[in-house]
Structure 1
Amino acid sequence: MQRLLLLSFFPVLLTLWLAAGSCSHEERISYNDSIRPIFNEKCIACHGGVKQSGGFGLVFREDALGETSSGKFAIVPGRPAKSEIVVRIKHDNPELRMPLEHAPLTVEETELIETWIRQGAEWEEHWAYLPVKEVEVPTSTTVGIQHPIDAFVRARLQKEKLAPAPRAQKRDLLRRLSFDLTGLPPSQKMMLSFLEDDRPEAYEEAVDALLQSPAFGEHWASKWLDLARYADSRGYERDPNRTIWPWRDWVIRAYNEDMPYDEFTLQQLAGDLLPEATPDQYLATAFHRNTLSNDEGGTSNEEYRNITIMDRVATSWEVWLGTSMACVQCHGHPYDPLRHEEYYRSYAFFNQSTDHDHVSEAPNLIAFFPAEEEKVRKLEDWVREHENKEAQTQVQNWVKRLRMREPRLRPETFTEVVGGIFTDRGDEDFLFVHNDNSFRLEGQLLDDIAAIHLSYRAMSKGLSLRITLDALDGPLLLETALSSRKWPFGTQQLKIPPTAGKHDLYFQFSGVENKKIAGIYGVHFQEKLPGEGQAGYAEVEAYIQELLEAKDSVRVPVMVDRPAEQARTTRIFTAGNWLVPADTVEPGVAPVFPPMAEHNRPLNRLDFARWITAPENPLTARVAVNRYWAALFGQGIVTTLEDFGSQGGLPSHPELLDWLAGQFSGELGWSTKQLLRLMVTSETYQQSSTTSPALLAADPYNELLARGPRKRLSAEEVRDQILAVSGLLSDKMYGPGVMPPQPDGLWDGVVYSGMKWITSEGEDRYRRGIYTYLRRSVPHPFLTTFDGPNREVCLSRRTNTNTPLQALMTLNDPVVVEAANALARDLMTTETSYPELITAAHQRVLFQAPAVADATALLRLYNESLVYYHTSPTEAEELVGSTNAELAALTVVVNALFNLDEFISKA
């Protein structure tokens, strides 16, 4: 019997022995390095996550090694001759050869696949889904390499037989550094000091000074706003205003304070779910309230709610995980191991939010004016001094309710509604009532309740309210007049007598007119304020009503989840259609990723955020450091910042990427400033951008980093630089979006909400680009001309274009002309001769004197302009506000300098 068993296993043992023997003298074929690229380019279109012709797929290992529709196995490990994939790619019959109707695989590609199968067809997960490696910094034979980044880069250059470029000139280097860290050119004072300072530490001191500049937060926040699809309007046809600029200011502060990236992530994705969440943590969640919102009449709330959630899923995965998820809402991912149902497990994390397409954009965080904020502080301080921790927590909950107008009993919870009309669209989730209409609130425990807060909009004068217990004609709890409230709504405190037990409450409304008299937004119950009888009690109790009646400073839309008892069930949408729901799913992530921490409750957004920032997540730190690297070097180590999947770019320096990711999440403690400091202090960053024909031929896109970066400035940087060198740039920070000049009538026929572009005056006219009001349907033309987005969707990288419109913009935009005029006026107060004026202008704009040929050309332009404006004083007055021909001519010269390539680029 034993002999028979041995004989039966002998063919299998022989196959394995032959496979092992064939590997002993062959180089091991890596699936990720050699095979996956062939499959992705030649095979995956028909055998991917969407289409699996012949029952054969190449996205998942079990599909690739499984039985096909024909009953044959496409890949038989160790046996290429028995593998149908080899048979078909080598077949002579074009009807049977694969890839069908395409060019056959090359001999080299076919041999690679055969060898890989013969070696056992070892499967590997995509490199980005593997854990971040602990990488040793390469040792180098090159003398003087001290920076770890340089060690990685030089090792690759030596392999490619390339040499690094010399250090950039000090002028170019400081200008590059200042733009990269603050988005602004260095000041004249800083440049002069740096050029005169020959100490070795001068550069690092400049780095540290720029990292501490308030402009740092504005610059890096601007990049984050692209990812967050931030705008001052809601999108779609009406594109009405959205008050969300306080969140933009939160991002600026977070960068300036160097909030650790993991905390930055947690607060934006789930700040409202953090224990004892602060107002700032609620504000952070406005990240996901930047989605488009369609409150046009006749549209479906539920349809657009689902569209919003899908956008939040896609944005979250792209921003933090470099993964394209949008296509998975309809079908499996075409290229990556993400199944259709796994998309809806991510969807479930966001499916509990209370927001939907309402004009008010509730839930909102209310920020009071300073006087009201002082009352909040006094209320909290008084309770802290006079009462215990439990009472303090109660008051904190009140303050939260004051800021959020949540939780509330919504109109949808009202029963026995008599005569009222629910709004299911547009204004808000109101119950509109007429004279003698009523509704019931069931089973309210009144033992510790001091007052009822009624939030409503008055639509008629002479309003009154009766509240009775347990029946419309039951015992009277309260009868009172209601104040007139203007749109959108107010909240009135209705004090009630001590009442024991649980009761149904009947609300009955009366008015003097036979029409809609009020819109009821919600009902809150106020517990008794602790500390009754103590000094100051009456004063702080009065604060509550004063705060309820206070005129709101701003209402910022934020994230709030439904209570657990109202949790939605998440279902898979067939082909992504919300009208065709299928199986239910629970929150979670795909098996290809590390599992989430287990809990004895349904997972929520906070669990998702913690999973994203967990040490074992292979994507978060890689994606982040790659994005920061791209901002400094012009492109990422992985060029596809938005896609780390199998169709994305391969890392040019994989060991460097993992080393940086490990440093960022480890030793650097997720510090953005320390990460950027690490990058810009490398010699690789400080290289000259000068190149040669040979180097361009060998490395046209500078992937090997043998030279410094050269890139056109962003739209905001171009405009901010013009204002900075002219002396007009305002350093005012924060606040609502401003409206610098734009062509008259640009919004006419496009903006249907009635809003007008009211051109800002004073310093608001010259604020940084990040503060420019951004309407999605009509962004400011200066920004769009220089490739600024409309921010309807998440954008990981802008595309640079070169068009004639850009030169026309920098020649004719009113603010650019005003800046040229301002600089010309300033120069004329310090210099006298025309050549000196031109040299001084060049020095102010480009931090160096002009070359002889440039000086000659600029002087010629000046002289020609001078003649023109002497003979055309009206034109001079139109340009500079006076008939001063010398001022007008110098303004033209400065404007020409603003159009130089070296001015709108960093090198």
Structure 2
Amino acid sequence: MAMNSRAHVIALAGLLVLVAAPGKLRAQGQGEDAQVDFVRDVQPLLRRHCFRCHGPKEQEGSLALNRRESTLGTADSGEPIVVAGQADDSLLIKRLTDAEYGDLMPLDAEPLSDAEIGTLRSWIDQGASWPDAVAEGEHWAYRRIERPPVPHVENAPVRATPIDHFVLRRLGATGQSLSPEADRPRLLRRVSLALTGLPPTPDEVQAFIADASPDAYEKAVDRLLASPAYGERWAVPWLDLARYADSNGFQADQLRDNWAFRDWVIRAFNADMPFDEFVVAQIAGDLLPDATIDQRIATGFHRMTPCNVEAGVHPEANRHNQIVDRVNTTATVFLGTTLECAQCHDHKYDPFTQQDYYRLFAYFNNTPLEVENRAGVTWDFYGPRMELPQNEMTRQELEAARQRLAALESRRAIAAERSEPDFEQWLAARNADDDANEGSDGQAAGQATGESKLTKPQRKKLRAQFDKQDPKLKQLDRQLARARRELKTLEPDTTLVMVEMDQPRETFVLTRGDYESPAERVQPGTPAVLPELHRVESTDDRLELARWLTSRENPLLARVTVNRWWGRLFGHPLVATPEDFGSQGEAPSHPELLDWLAAELIDSGWSMKHAHKQIVMSATFKQSAKATPQILAADPHNRLLARGPRFRLPAEAVRDNALAVSGLLSRRMYGPPIMPYQPDNLWRSVGRNQPTWKAAEDEDRFRRGVYVVCKRAAPYPSFINFDAPDRGSCTVNRPRSNTPLQALTLLNDPAYAEMALALADRVLSESPGASDAGRLDYAVRVVLARSGTPRELELLTGLLAAERELLAKNPKLAAARTKPRTAALQLQTRDKQELAVWFAVANALLNLDETMTQ
């Protein structure tokens, strides 16, 4: 008996785990033969479980497990806490495992797992090594970046890169090795999605498979790095960091123009602008000598702060909150620190003082207010703006439109002046009528002899009423309205930029972070724990800060940056807490590799494309992502990198990928934000917030996600379902959830239904005369860049048969499935019944787990 279509969709279980994230298994401890690293394995464990009572702030029983001399010393009882080489004789292990020695540690907290205790045992048995730099209190992230030597490893792949040598040394210590290289179709799809956010076309896959040259993969990588899609893909995570949005935020959440900054980021990445220049431009582009338009646009990075313009807002409080956001964002993005903890008091865990915080604050405290009072109760967002350049033809049209408007306004003023006597007669007649109606008691709005009783607003209102009845004035008003609309379309676009005030503000340490409680005055400066800022001139401005951030002496910028890039390419960064390189963050899984990548970035002239090429050319990146039982048991989260990366695409890439394989994707770049389809009534008027969502009916409907309007109070719904942030604040790392909403979005969202319909049309129109088997294989190759397996094709064949049977009995369903929602969707297939059948296949393919993953 033939299965129905729903049953067949469910039967695709191995494929239709709609957007399932990789399973999360409990991490295993170090193997007995594995070399334990104190910074990577032991210090985070002690910090997580022990520092609350035996750390920098509290030392109960005089024990400080953050200090080597204390940990390797003796307890108050005289018993040694750690006996190097003898875990069973160490009090540390006894207090964790043996109740005879007292209450098991840690008190009033979750006990250590067997794996964690095993790590501590192995560390002690291996000699309890504690590096001198750590013993002296120097945190790994604050050490100067030095290029480590590339380790020699046995049995390295023929084309192994330095990256592979670092990875192989770590794997070798656990008895593992790299997995075999992924097959060519999967490899090309992985690197295409990684670098451009778009899948390869069937032709590109075939050309790659057919290219037998030893540099075939490198040529593909170079092509992808040169693609304009590269900048679009890499702009998205940077815009997360920059909290880029097209609205103010808060309840009013009015739209504002920021898109020139987004376009600048895309262009900078495509041009491979040196990353240090990229940073300087965003922090202080306006202060560079002879600053260009692009350098000023770049300062929009710190104009992305949300701005509250609701009734009752205090402008100084608003300005203070924006500067706090700029300080916190700068520290997070460029230093990987949780400096916000020092806004109200010294940082509890990291060596940052409250004075450090407000010294950084001083660099941004020289900006004007960004809200303006209107009519005493209403506030508007304004702040510094810059007009964007126009071409000569547009400038000429603009000037002509301004002249036409000025001429009309002059004619209107003359006509109004000439009609003044008529207005006075009309007013007198109106007043006489009012007198008659009110018994001539002199209380009318005004009389011919008593017009002084009219207030200015009353007279203005009556004059407007009169003008509406004057034929000549009515005609001029209509012409003026048209001229103003024309002028508005020609006025240059603007973008938000940073500027310095002529007179610097004084900055104070704020008691408990309260802007109304200033304490001692501070000067601009950088955190004392980091290398000193060497002033070339005593400018104390943002340019000084930017140059310090990008100096080679700063140990954080390069490390933090390459760590984020690695995370985007592998699904998890080398430092699992990319927003926190401090003592409460995780230590790097491969510390030497992190430093090698950071040094390589600096030495390459801060080339982002060079860094990305180094990573994706490695055998580590090119491995098969197949997780064998042995690999899962040894390293369930792939922290040791014994297999290739596999993880769900970011929200924008989920949509971009579906648009690309369906053939709908528009490659138009840049410009104002777009509005593709979204469900009705999500944008509702609230107070002065009266936006209108008008879904595009041209190719803008199918442009990439980076261009979709970002409204903080109501972000694009399918992006939110796939964990995109609202960008109300800096986002370093998006979570990856797995919820039913994601499956329902892909199955039922009309936008994805359009893509499924277009994919069905593409398969039918690009494989005329082919058999069902040929078309099914082509459909799989379009979506997954590989041929279907026999089992996959068997299931899809069954789905085809079930859908044909279903639609033969219900032709109205076929008509409903194939009716385009927009004129922008142009279909080639004339047989709507067959198109509706293939729609079901396309819908299933777009919902495969493999489709959603890189």
Same fold (TM over 0.5): yes
Tell me the equivalent position of 1:427: none
Amino acid across the alignment from 2:144: P
Name structure 2 gaps, 5 residues minimum: 1-35, 83-90, 373-379, 400-409, 415-453, 461-486, 820-829
8 Å CA contact 2:249–2:307 kept in 1: the answer is yes
Q: Distance in 1 between matches of 2:212 and 2:556?
A: 41
CA displacement, residues 423-443 of structure 1 (integer Å, 9 cap, x when unaligned): xxxxxxxxxxxxxxxxxxxxx
SS at match of 2:622: coil
How high is the TM-score relative to the length of structure 2? 0.76
Residue of structure 2 in register with 1:371 after alignment: 392
Q: Match for residue 557 of structure 1?
A: 496
- Give how far 1:644 is off: 0.8
Q: 2:47 aligns with which of 40, 43, 47?
A: 40
Could you say which residue in structure 2 is the equivalent of 1:871? 809
Q: Which of 193, 202, 207 is the matching residue for 1:179? A: 193
Separation in structure 1 between the aligned mates of residue 134 and residue 188 of structure 2, nearest angstrom = 52
* Secondary structure class of the residue paired with 2:236: helix
- 1:352 maps to 2:366: yes
Q: Supply the AA of the counterpart residue of 1:338.
A: F
Q: State the shift of 1:838 in Å.
A: 2.3
In structure 1, the partner of 2:315 is: 301
Which of residues 835, 838, 842 in structure 2 aligns to 1:890?
838
Could you say if the C-alpha distance between residues 702 and 905 of structure 1 is closer, same or farther in structure 2, counting changes exceeding 3 Å? same
1:894 CA displacement:
0.7
**Structure 2 residue aligned with 1:819, among 739, 744, 755?**
755
User: Match for residue 509 of structure 2?
Assistant: 572
How far is the alpha carbon of 1:44 from its aligned partner?
A: 3.7
Give aligned pairs, total: 704
Which residues of 2 match residues 33-182 of structure 1 at below 5 A?
Answer: 36-37=43-44, 40-45=47-52, 122-142=135-155, 144=158, 146-182=160-196
1:226 aligns with 2:212: no
Distance 1:158 1:79, change over 3 A: closer
Q: Secondary structure at the match of 1:336?
A: coil
Q: 1:115 to 1:892 in 2, by over 3 A?
A: closer
C-alpha separation between the residues in 2 aligned to 1:849 and 1:751? Answer: 55
- Report SS of the residue matched to 1:556: strand
Alpha-carbon separation, structure 2, partners of 1:851 and 1:122: 56
Judging changes above 3 Å, is the alpha-carbon distance between structure 1 residues 827 and 683 closer, same or farther for their aligned structure 2 residues?
Answer: same
Would the alpha carbon gap of residues 899 and 97 (structure 1) be closer, same or farther in structure 2, given more than 3 Å must change?
closer
**Who is 1:708 aligned against?**
644
Q: Which residue of 2 aligns with 1:696?
A: 632
Partners of 1:853 and 1:77 lie apart in 2 by: 60
Measured in 2, the distance between the counterparts of 1:132 and 1:630 equals: 20
Q: In structure 2, how many angstroms separate the alpha carbons of the residues matched to 1:122 and 1:158? A: 28
Larger helix proportion, structure 1 or 2?
A: 2
Structure 1 spans left out of the alignment, 5+ residues:
1-28, 66-73, 379-457, 463-511, 519-547
> Which letter does structure 1 place at the counterpart of 2:513?
G
Matched residue SS, 1:676: helix
Amino acid across the alignment from 1:367? L
Distance 2:518 2:100 in 1: 44
Aligned-residue offset at 1:34: 8.4
1:252-651 matched pairs, under 5 angstroms: 252-358=266-372, 359-371=380-392, 514=456, 552-563=491-502, 566-599=503-536, 601-651=538-588
SS in 1 for 2:52: coil
SS of corresponding position for 2:508: strand
Deviation at 1:216, TM superposition (A): 0.3
AA in 2 matched with 1:323 = T
C-alpha distance in 2 between matches for 1:31 and 1:885:
66
Partner of 1:748: 684
Between 1:761-770 and 1:869-878, the stretch displaced more is 869-878
1:845 and 2:783 are equivalent in the alignment: yes
**1:811–1:895 Cα contact (<8 Å) kept:** yes
Give the superposition deviation at 1:55. 13
Answer yes or no: is the 8 Å Cα contact 2:370–2:381 preserved in 1: no
> For the residues of structure 2 that align with 1:673 and 1:756, how far apart are their CA atoms?
39
Which amino acid in structure 2 is aligned with residue 131 of structure 1?
A: R
- Distance of 2:517 and 2:308 partners within structure 1: 22
Between the two proteins, what is the percent identity of the paired residues?
42
Label 1:318 to 1:120 Cα distance change in 2 as closer, same or farther (>3 A): closer
- Residue 47 of structure 2: SS of its match in structure 1? helix
Residue by residue over 1:52-100, the C-alpha shift from the partner in whole angstroms, topping out at 9 and shown as x without a partner, is 68999979x9xx89xxxxxxxx969988769999899999999999977
TM-superposed deviation, 1:761? 1.1
Aligned to 2:442: none
- Report whether the alignment pairs 1:195 with 2:202: no
Q: TM-score, normalised by structure 1?
A: 0.71
Structure 1 pair 567–58 and aligned structure 2 pair: CA distance change class (3 A): farther
Alignment CA distance shift 1:617-1:45 (3 Å) = same
Distance change >3 Å, CA 38–CA 879, structure 1 → 2: closer
Aligned partner of 1:653 in structure 2 is 590
Per-residue deviation, residues 394-421 of structure 1 (Å, max 9, x unmatched)? xxxxxxxxxxxxxxxxxxxxxxxxxxxx
User: Which letter does structure 2 place at the counterpart of 1:672?
Assistant: M
Shift in Å, 1:48: 6.7
Give the distance between the partners of 1:142 and 1:116, measured in 2 at CA: 28
- Indicate whether 1:800 and 2:736 are aligned: yes
2:86 is matched with: none
Aligned mates of 1:650, 1:626 — CA distance in 2: 12
CA contact 2:40–2:588 (8 Å) conserved in 1: no
Amino acid aligned to 1:552: E
SS of aligned partner of 2:229: helix
Equivalent residue of 2:720, what SS?
helix
SS at match of 2:254: coil
- Match of 1:185, SS state, is coil
Q: Indicate yes or no: 2:661 matched with 1:722.
A: no
Q: 1:253 to 1:116 in 2, by over 3 A?
A: closer
- Provide the C-alpha distance between the structure 2 equivalents of 1:372 and 1:218, rounded to a whole number of angstroms: 29
Larger RCO: Structure 1 or Structure 2 (Cα < 8 Å, ≥ 6 residues apart)? Answer: 2
Q: Is the 8 A contact 1:133 1:658 kept in 2?
A: yes
In structure 2, the CA distance between the partners of 1:79 and 1:156, relative to structure 1 (3 Å rule), is closer
Shift of residue 710, structure 1, vs aligned partner: 0.6
Q: Is the 8 A contact 2:248 2:306 kept in 1?
A: yes
The structural deviation recorded for 1:880 is 0.6
Contact 1:204/1:681 (CA < 8 Å) preserved in 2? yes
Q: CA deviation at 1:638?
A: 0.9
Cα deviation for residue 120 of structure 1 reads 13
Comparing 743-752 with 672-681, greater Cα deviation is found at 743-752
| Cα distance, 1:93–1:597 mapped onto 2, change above 3 Å | farther
Q: Report SS of the residue matched to 1:138.
A: coil
Cα contact 1:145–1:151 (8 A) shared by 2 = no
Q: Is the Cα contact below 8 Å between 2:712 and 2:727 reproduced in 1?
A: yes
Distance 1:513 1:255 in 2: 60
